[in-house]
């Protein structure tokens, strides 16, 4: 299956349009990753409306490359400004900034880019080898398994999202509710349309995603007091010799990439956790003279290789099962739906050229990252000098143009603005946004398979326990919720104990 997919995808991959868009995606991803407050998710969201009219493999190459470049770009501001462009680069602060303070800023950025590219290639190999196996295993799944799998993805994302468990589950349920708006596939009845013709097909996923992430983020940035602050950073020029420096830490590189890919494959875990875990493991294996925390090259290698390996790992359940590993994967699934195909076992059997093409563009995006990233670093550093007061109007204009261009619909613009306001309210109240979008994406999958399972069942809900895989997934879901409740109660008790000790002391 693997060889057939790669051979079939080669024609889709080796086109000037696909290669150019993938390279441009890396450049755009590095820019949005370097700018604090944006990041790979925002980059994918901004370009999503423009990608939906492209050929499928070229569009996926463009969006995936933004994710690859954006995951690395955050390290540039982390190393130069001590401000991570994204949470993914937070652990890079520990050694990247001290390394820059020692006069080796160019080396630090070069090591970060090299480690990201090599970690990304490792994640790509994991994706290529693991996804077909997982898809083959899941090819015998039926509605009960798919329903429980969708529930697992939703619960996992809600449990590990920022904020409390209850808030994560609440926003996930809100997403499920939004997914029910429109025409019921089974009864052809209208649900929550309030007599509106535009709502018969529900809300367009792109308008929801752009509103909930991009518009609310820009509104959140406006609430801050640093719109006119300008960063004073010096232009640095890393060289390709930093690749050799990175390769000297090959054990650390291999170990951290493995951790990143493994964490990425677990729905809901994400890159931030994997980078901190990789850094902790690398530090545990280091010697005192390595100087972790004081500018160690190995620290940058550990965090950045794990960071980008996570992207490939997260694509494994995304491609094989149609279950997003995190918010960026959910947006990519939305893009695949709009492009006319749904990830999962059927995709591997029916559209091998798409699967092979996606595999190849992902590998190429990491090679592009290594070359373009090092050559064009001065330009990305220059972008850090832009004021937010210049940047925000540009982002808002891109959001409006892209969303309107989807269907030439003013209604989509109102949907975008409405979800932007909803996103801002949820942010200010401390509710995570990712579970809402994943609820919207997984809602139809969960509902349709749940109803199909109940229709074919003669004993009601027992069908979910009669089948072994479905029963295991039910147990996993219960364990996820029980574990999250246990940790929440434990953390609350520890917080109360500390508060009591401080008041008595």
The full set of domain ranges for the chain reads: 1-225+238-504
pLDDT reported for residue 459: 66
- Cα–Cα nearest to 28, from 79, 78, 76, 62: 62
pLDDT mean across residues, the chain:
84
pLDDT reported for residue 178: 93
pLDDT reported for residue 269: 61
CB-based contacts of 107, cutoff 8 Å, min separation 6: 99, 238, 242, 245, 297
Residue 169 DSSP symbol: H
The full DSSP string for 389-446 is HHHHHHHHHHHHHHHHHHHT-HHHHHHHHHHHHHHHHHHHTT--SHHHHHHHHHHHHH
Span 123-148, pLDDT tens digits = 999 989 988 888 888 877 888 888 88
Per-residue pLDDT at 415 exceeds 90: yes
Kind plus residue range of the DSSP H or E element containing 191: strand 190-191
pLDDT confidence bin for 488, thresholds 50/70/90: confident
Per-residue pLDDT at 1 exceeds 70: no
pLDDT reported for residue 433: 85
Which two three-digit tokens encode residue 426? 């949820």
pLDDT reported for residue 368: 93
pTM for this structure?
Answer: 0.84
Which two three-digit tokens encode residue 119? 């970690």
- Cα–Cα nearest to 192, from 209, 205, 201: 201
Residue 118 contacts residue 253 (beta carbons within 8 Å):
yes
pLDDT confidence bin for 180, thresholds 50/70/90: very high
- With a pLDDT cut of 90, the percent of the chain lying above it is 17
Span 383-413, pLDDT tens digits = 877 787 888 888 888 888 888 887 888 999 9
Which residues face 190 on adjacent strands?
183
User: Which of 57-71, 198-212, 223-237 has the least mean pLDDT?
Assistant: 223-237
Higher local confidence (pLDDT), 387 or 368: 368
Phi, psi for residue 183 in degrees, rounded to 5: -95, 130
pLDDT reported for residue 184: 84
pLDDT reported for residue 14: 87
Measured between alpha carbons, how far is 370 from 382 in angstroms, rounded to an integer? 19
User: Which of 180-194, 218-232, 290-304, 338-352 has the least mean pLDDT?
Assistant: 218-232
């Amino acid at each position: 299956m693997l060889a057939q997919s790669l051979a079939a995808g080669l024609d889709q991959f080796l086109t000037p349009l696909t290669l150019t868009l993938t390279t441009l995606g890396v450049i755009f991803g590095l820019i949005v990753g370097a700018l604090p407050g944006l990041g790979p998710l925002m980059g994918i969201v901004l370009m999503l409306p423009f990608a939906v009219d492209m050929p499928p493999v070229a569009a996926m190459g463009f969006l995936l490359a933004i994710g690859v470049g954006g995951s690395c770009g955050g390290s540039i501001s982390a190393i130069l400004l001590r401000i991570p462009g994204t949470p993914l680069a937070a652990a890079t602060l520990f050694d990247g900034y001290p390394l820059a303070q020692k006069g080796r800023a160019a080396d630090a950025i070069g090591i970060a880019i090299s480690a990201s590219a090599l970690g990304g290639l490792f994640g790509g190999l994991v994706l290529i080898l693991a996804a077909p196996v997982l898809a083959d295993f899941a090819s015998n799944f039926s509605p009960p398994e798919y329903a429980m799998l969708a529930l697992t993805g939703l619960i996992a994302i809600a449990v590990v999202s920022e904020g409390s468990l209850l808030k994560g589950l609440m926003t996930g349920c809100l997403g499920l509710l939004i997914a029910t708006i429109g025409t019921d596939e089974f009864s052809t009845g209208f649900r929550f349309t309030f007599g509106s013709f535009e709502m018969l097909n529900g809300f367009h996923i792109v308008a929801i995603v752009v509103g909930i992430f991009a518009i609310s983020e820009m509104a959140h940035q406006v609430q801050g007091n640093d719109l006119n602050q300008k960063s004073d950073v010096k232009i640095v020029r890393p060289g390709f010799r930093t690749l050799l420096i990175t390769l000297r830490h090959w054990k650390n590189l291999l170990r951290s990439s493995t951790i990143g890919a493994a964490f990425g494959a677990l729905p809901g875990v994400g890159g931030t956790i994997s980078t901190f875990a990789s850094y902790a493991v690398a530090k545990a294996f280091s010697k005192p003279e390595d100087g972790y925390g004081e500018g160690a090259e190995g620290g940058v290698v550990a965090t950045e290789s794990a960071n980008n390996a996570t992207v490939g790992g997260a694509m494994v359940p995304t491609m094989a099962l149609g279950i997003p590993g995190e918010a960026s994967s959910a947006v990519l699934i939305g893009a695949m739906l709009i492009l006319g195909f749904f990830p999962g076992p059927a995709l591997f059997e029916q559209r091998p050229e798409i699967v092979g093409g996606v595999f190849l563009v992902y590998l190429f995006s990491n090679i592009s990252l290594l070359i373009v990233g090092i050559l064009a670093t001065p330009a990305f550093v220059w972008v850090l000098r832009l004021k937010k007061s210049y940047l925000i109007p540009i982002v808002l204009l891109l959001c409006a143009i892209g969303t309107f261009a989807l269907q030439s619909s003013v209604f989509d613009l109102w949907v975008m603005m409405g979800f932007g306001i909803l996103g801002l309210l949820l942010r200010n109240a401390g509710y995570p946004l990712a579970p809402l979008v994943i609820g919207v994406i997984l809602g139809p999958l969960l509902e349709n398979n749940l109803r199909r399972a109940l229709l074919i069942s003669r004993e009601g809900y027992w069908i979910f326990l009669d089948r072994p895989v479905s029963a295991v997934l039910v147990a996993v879901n219960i364990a996820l919720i029980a574990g999250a409740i246990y940790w929440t109660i434990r953390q609350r008790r520890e917080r109360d104990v500390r508060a009591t000790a401080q008041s008595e002391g």
